Structure formats: structure tokens, C-alpha cells
Amino acid sequence: MINNIANSVKELCQHDSSGHDWWHIYRVVNLAKNIGSKEKADLLLVETAALLHDLDDWKLELSDSENLPIARKLLAENGATADFIERVLTIIKEVSYKGAGTKTKPSSIEGMAVQDADRLDAIGAIGVARTFAYGGYKNQPLHDPNLKPTLHNSYEDYKSTRTSTINHFYEKLLLLKDRLNTKTAKELAVQRHRFMEQFLEQFYAEWNLD
Ligand code: NI
């Protein structure tokens, strides 16, 4: 089942240039399994949910993130039981970041592992690279000193506000280290967080050269 699902996911995201390509999925699967094994989670559930976590995401505008039709269909086609499908879909719904003022703690240890893995891949050097790729995909400016970051209090706000890629660090990325669930992920986040702070420092130093 896992191999078939992985092959389908690989095919579906092969043309992605928004930072949600197959290698993002691959990294999240490995990180989630690593975290999950330390936290004694059900690793089949963790791996399946990690593989499918971005297929129906609102950010990619391909699908419906409430009903997750693509993930649901792939699971059913590959013989997953109704109970397993519901558990995977619950994890996927709980993974997504919904703005600074919105709490999103998953209800299971498997969900925590997948959410932590996805968040770790959003920070550090890979996070910086993916953030600028996503900003380009959304036609956002790299940085505009006149656009100030906003800490969104609702999911709707977070989805609709126009921003710059540099602002995204303040609206999401720098907040992630304090919104991780597991001890393993918190340890992995320290170095990645520090790297983003150094990146921003250097970015402003170059920007303000005059
Ligand atoms: Ni993701």
C-alpha cells in the first residue's frame, strides 16, 4: 500500500515549484518516522499521513482541504480500511498552520509527529529556500519595507492578507519553534531557528548598505 501511494504522490507533485514537491514530502516522511519512532507512534499511520499531507492543501489551490478528496481516493484505491482512512484524514486536517493567533495542536501522537516534521521542513536553510520559492509562486515581493508583518488572528485572515516573503518569517517561520509538539522536534529546531535569524540579520545588513 505504502509503495503504491508513494508512487502516486510522486507523480502528482512532480511539476510543483511552490516548495511542496516530492522532495518536501520525502523529507517530511523521513522526519516524521524518525520523530514517530522516538515517540512510540504507529509508524504506518505516520508514514501514510506524511505522504498524503499536502495533496489537498489550500495553498496549492488544487483541491478541497475540508474533504481531502485526493488523499481519500488514493487510500480507498489502495485498500485502506474505512477506519484507517478516517485516522489518516484527521491527521492531515490537523497538520496545517492557520495563523499566529490560531491554536492547532493535533489530537494524536501520530498527528504531532507529522505536524512537527512538516514544520521542521519549513524552517532552517531548507525553510528559507522553500519560502522564497513559495513567494515567487504566489507573486509576492521578496521584501517591501512598507509592508509590515501581521500576526493573523484567524485562518481566513492568514489566507487572504497580502504580504512579502520576508514578512512570512515573522508571521509564521520564527514562531514555529515554540509551536512544536515533541521533544525530538524541539531539539532539531534550535539550530534551524538560529540559522533563520542569522539569514535575516545578513539580509537587512545588505539591504541597508547606504
Ligand atoms: Ni507540507
23 Cα to the center of ligand 1, angstroms = 10
CA distance 96 to 60: 13
Range of the domain at 195: 2-207
Q: Tens-digit pLDDT profile for the chain (210 aa)?
A: 999 999 999 999 888 889 999 999 999 999 999 999 999 999 999 999 999 999 987 666 666 777 899 999 999 999 999 999 999 999 999 987 666 667 779 999 999 999 999 999 999 999 999 999 999 999 999 999 998 887 766 766 666 677 899 999 999 999 999 999 999 999 999 999 999 999 999 999 999 876
192 Cα to the center of ligand 1, angstroms = 17
Terminus-to-terminus CA distance in the chain, angstroms?
58
CATH of the domain at 17: 1.10.3210.50
- Specify the amino acid at residue 59: K
118 Cα to the center of ligand 1, angstroms = 5
pTM > 0.85 = yes
145 Cα to the center of ligand 1, angstroms = 28
208 Cα to the center of ligand 1, angstroms = 33
128 Cα to the center of ligand 1, angstroms = 14
168 Cα to the center of ligand 1, angstroms = 16
CA atoms within 13 A on the CB side of 99: 15
Give the residue ranges of DSSP H helices in 39-123: 43-52, 69-77, 82-95, 109-120
Minimal CA–CA distance to 145: which of 166, 124, 169?
166
- The secondary structure of residue 136, as a DSSP letter, is H
Structural domains of the chain, count: 1
CA distance 118 to 53: 9
